């Protein structure tokens, strides 16, 4: 029987996962946690075999929790289960030591197989995540956007014109255009709409 720790900040998600695994004799839910900090305490108490880890949580996020679990000597395999599949989420989680990365729309039987495989130490990735990882390996690393370029794109995304962005940032309109051109080159796009879309896709901008 595989002992599980479910970590997610949404009680309804934890309830759903607990009910799902409780109905299968191959698994036993040993504990739950609503954030990474709670997960560390529960993991120390129950010593799970596999941790189902969400990523974006209050107090301590999933990536930080994965690193902290290793630091406290936990041997549990961590299987990320989240709704996010951007490079900003996937790569740090894998680098932190996650055994697998699945999305929350994963079918029940596939999730069961993934947990079993993770328990054996096998890497488990959803097709979308595997595609992102392969793409990151094949593509040369691009120069990151500067803080000023992100500030300009943030204002553009909120509907500001170049002139309005320049006024808000206390720079010239020509400088705004230069920052945009640099951002286009780094993001591999040709216009402001595509730049904004790419920046959101890569997690550089947020819908605040």
pLDDT value of residue 40? 96
HSE-up of residue 166 (Cα within 13 Å, Cβ side): 13
Helix (H) or strand (E) holding 164: helix 162-169
Which of 121, 27, 55 is closest to 17 using CA atoms?
27
* Tens digit of each residue's pLDDT (9 = 90 or more) over 47-58: 999 999 999 999
Residue 132 has pLDDT above 80, yes or no: no
User: CA 29 to CA 94: how far, in whole Å?
Assistant: 24
Question: What pTM, to 2 d.p., does this model score?
Answer: 0.66
In DSSP terms, 5 is beta-bridged to: 31, 51
The alpha carbons of the chain give a radius of gyration, in whole angstroms, of: 20
pLDDT value of residue 166? 94
Mean pLDDT over 119-124 rounds to: 91
């Amino acid at each position: 029987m595989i002992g599980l720790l479910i970590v997610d900040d949404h009680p309804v998600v934890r309830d759903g996962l607990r009910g799902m695994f409780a109905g299968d004799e191959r698994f036993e839910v040993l504990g739950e946690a609503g954030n990474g900090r709670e997960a560390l305490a529960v993991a120390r108490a129950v010593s799970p075999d596999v941790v189902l880890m969400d990523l974006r949580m209050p107090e301590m996020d999933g990536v930080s929790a994965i690193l902290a679990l290793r630091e406290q000597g936990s041997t549990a395999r961590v299987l990320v289960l989240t709704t996010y599949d951007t490079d900003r989420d996937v790569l740090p989680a894998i680098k932190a030591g996650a055994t697998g990365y699945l999305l929350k729309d994963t079918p029940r039987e596939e999730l069961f197989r993934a947990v079993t495989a993770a328990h054996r130490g096998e890497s488990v990735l959803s097709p979308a995540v595997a595609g992102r990882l392969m793409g990151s390996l094949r593509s040369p690393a691009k120069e990151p956007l500067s803080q000023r370029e992100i500030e300009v794109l943030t204002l553009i995304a909120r509907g500001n014109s170049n002139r309005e962005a320049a006024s808000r940032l206390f720079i010239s309109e020509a400088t705004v255009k230069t920052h945009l051109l640099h951002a286009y080159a780094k993001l591999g796009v040709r216009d402001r709409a595509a730049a904004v879309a790419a920046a959101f896709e890569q997690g550089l901008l947020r819908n605040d």
